Copies of this chain bind each other. A is one copy, B any other.
Amino acid sequence: MSRKRSSKVNSMDVARLAGVSIAAVSRTFTPGSSVSPKMAEKVRKAADQLSYVPNSLASSLITRRTNIVALMLPNLVNQVYSALLSEASLRLEENNKQLLLFTPLNDSDFDRTLQRMLEYQVDAIVISAASISSRMAALCLGRDVPVVMLGRHMPSLSVHSVRGNAEDGGITAAKLLISGGGKRFGIISGSQTFTTMLERQQAILRYLSVIKNIENVAIADGKLTYEGGYQAALEIMSGEDRPDSIFCLTDIMALGAMDAIRYNLNLRIPEDVALIGFDDIPESAHESYGLTTIRTPVRRMIHHMMNLIAPETPLDPPQTIMIDAELVIRSSTRLAVNNSGLDS
């Protein structure tokens, strides 16, 4: 069978047909190796004839580089993660690296996932919105594989991290809603296991409290989904002191909240209620929504990630890269009624 023969073609077969050593065929397929054009020509011809495909696993065994980077994402229902993945895939592809994707089912098997990444000898590990034990972090460090956390910082871990400035983002959001005349505030929050959510919320609450002396803020859990945001909005808006301004800790929840407010509660946005989100997912720009939001700087995050996983970048000391918040104003918020909010 041609099938059997074909599946066994290796560098020796090519070498034999070309009448050269296996070192020669290895060299012609290794950019930068010293082979005469004549030799390379012979080898390539033989390789083509046999449909030879080099085994990168075997070569990785020796070179100790796989050109595979592992990426761990919590899910893809939130478009931010799609965007992160998409951008990472693009940049990696440009650099001839492969992306090995992991989306752990339950939060509990992060460490097992990490273990599998190491078994595959990945060159680097990128983790978004998930945690990792210090034991595993040490293991990665010990094996010289860089780890970068996206959108989360764990000072105790001594791994790289890249994230938006949640503190700054929260303050910017708070300033905007206040400047728009906001008096009563609500927050639709997400799972507290995501530190980013916590940081955003705390920044907002602190600003409201310290600067504006506002203490009673309605908070509801939007569960990081459209439906959750929808329900959370209904909950928040059913209270006696109905908010006129709502912070949604992610855009996807904000979209749900907007739909609930418009179509279930029949209120106007931003006249009756102003909303601001976080992330800037594509849908937020749709004319149906026009959500004002604090953008998650996906491209810049991936740009820094690429630098951090480069072999030239030392693992130690771990770098913490913080990217400034970027406000995207659309139509879900009110214009400043005066300058007091923005200046204070």
Measured CB to CB, the residues of A under 8 A from B are 2-3, 6-7, 51, 53-58, 60-61, 66, 68, 75-77, 79, 82-83, 85-86, 89-90, 93-94, 98-105, 115-116, 118-121, 139, 141-144, 226, 230, 255-256, 258-260, 262-264, 282-283, 286-289
Contact B53 A139 (CB under 8 A): yes
CA distance A322 to B58 in the complex (A): 39
Contact B283 A263 (CB under 8 A): no
Contact B53 A118 (CB under 8 A): yes
Contact A103 B86 (CB under 8 A): yes
Residue ID in chain B nearest A135 by CB atoms: B51
**Shortest distance in angstroms between A189's beta carbon and chain B's nearest beta carbon?**
21
CA distance A283 to B83 in the complex (A): 16
Which of these, B6, B82, B98, B115, contacts A143 with CB under 8 Å?
Answer: B6
Residue ID in chain B nearest A70 by CB atoms: B98
Contact A259 B282 (CB under 8 A): no
Contact A58 B61 (CB under 8 A): yes
Which of these, B94, B104, B116, contacts A98 with CB under 8 Å?
Answer: B116
Contact A143 B53 (CB under 8 A): yes
Contact B259 A6 (CB under 8 A): no
Contact A2 B53 (CB under 8 A): no
Contact B144 A7 (CB under 8 A): yes
**A56-B119, A90-B103 are known contacts; what are 13 more A-B pairs with Cβ within 8 Å?**
A6-B139, A51-B139, A51-B142, A57-B57, A76-B86, A77-B282, A82-B82, A93-B104, A93-B105, A98-B120, A99-B100, A101-B101, A258-B288
Q: Which residues of B contact A98 (CB under 8 A)?
A: 100-102, 116, 120
- 3 nearest A-B pairs in the assembled complex, by CB-CB distance: A6-B142, A259-B287, A76-B86
Contact B143 A7 (CB under 8 A): yes
CA distance A288 to B100 in the complex (A): 36
Contact A255 B286 (CB under 8 A): yes
Q: Which residues of B contact A79 (CB under 8 A)?
A: 79, 82
Residue ID in chain B nearest A56 by CB atoms: B119
Contact B115 A53 (CB under 8 A): yes
The CB with the most chain B CB atoms within 10 A, among A54, A68, A83, A120, is that of: A120
Contact A55 B119 (CB under 8 A): yes
Known contacts A144-B3, A286-B259; A85/B76 CB under 8 A: yes
CA distance A75 to B116 in the complex (A): 26
Contact A142 B282 (CB under 8 A): no
Q: Which residues of B contact A141 (CB under 8 A)?
A: 3
Which of these, B53, B66, B100, contacts A57 with CB under 8 Å?
Answer: B66
Contact A226 B286 (CB under 8 A): yes
Contact B61 A89 (CB under 8 A): no
Q: Which residues of B contact A120 (CB under 8 A)?
A: 56-57, 68, 98
Contact A142 B286 (CB under 8 A): no
Contact B60 A89 (CB under 8 A): no
Q: Which residues of B contact A7 (CB under 8 A)?
A: 142-144
Would you list 24 pairs from A and B whose C-beta atoms are within 8 A, ordered by A residue? A3-B141, A7-B143, A53-B118, A53-B139, A55-B121, A57-B60, A57-B66, A57-B121, A61-B61, A76-B82, A76-B86, A77-B86, A79-B79, A79-B82, A93-B102, A93-B105, A94-B105, A98-B102, A98-B120, A100-B101, A101-B101, A256-B286, A263-B287, A288-B288
